[in-house]
A = this chain, B = another copy of it.
């Protein structure tokens, strides 16, 4: 990494933006139950050759909790939901950032890994930023190996032909 001036494929500017934006997003969290703020950021692939003058496109999220804990949602899913309704799909995501108030890095929960995986290739890097901006980075494939995804589900036709799920 870095020989080409890139860090896991990101320019210095992109990486800085990814970090800044997820730290900013963290301050918008609604977490009166856990008191644990999380921010997430998604770097969108420039659809046209990027120019150093145009800022990287980044979409963010933060955790939104609920009095019924299972009903709340995580920063990563708020960010990705936001990106999807803006039209971004598989192939659109160049990198993911996540941060908390911990000194140490913090990884996405398994539910978020699954949600992100629907739209991110195994090679997409996930930057886990500490409170002070250092990071650890792993790819989606490293964080959710042998993942369950769309290609595992048989076609509807095959399912109905077998008909086993209908037995209830």
Contacts and interface: CB of A to CB of B under 8 A. Distances in A.
State the copy count for this chain: 4
Contact of A138 (B36, B146, B150, B160): B146
A3 interface: no
B64 A80 contact: yes
Interface in A117-141: 117-118, 136, 138
Nearest to A62: B85
A74 B35 CA distance: 21
Interface of A: 25, 27-37, 60-62, 64-74, 77-78, 80-82, 84-87, 89, 101-102, 106-115, 117-118, 136, 138, 142-150, 152-154, 156, 159-160, 162-168
Contact of A164 (B84, B101, B145): B101
A153 to B, nearest CB: 6
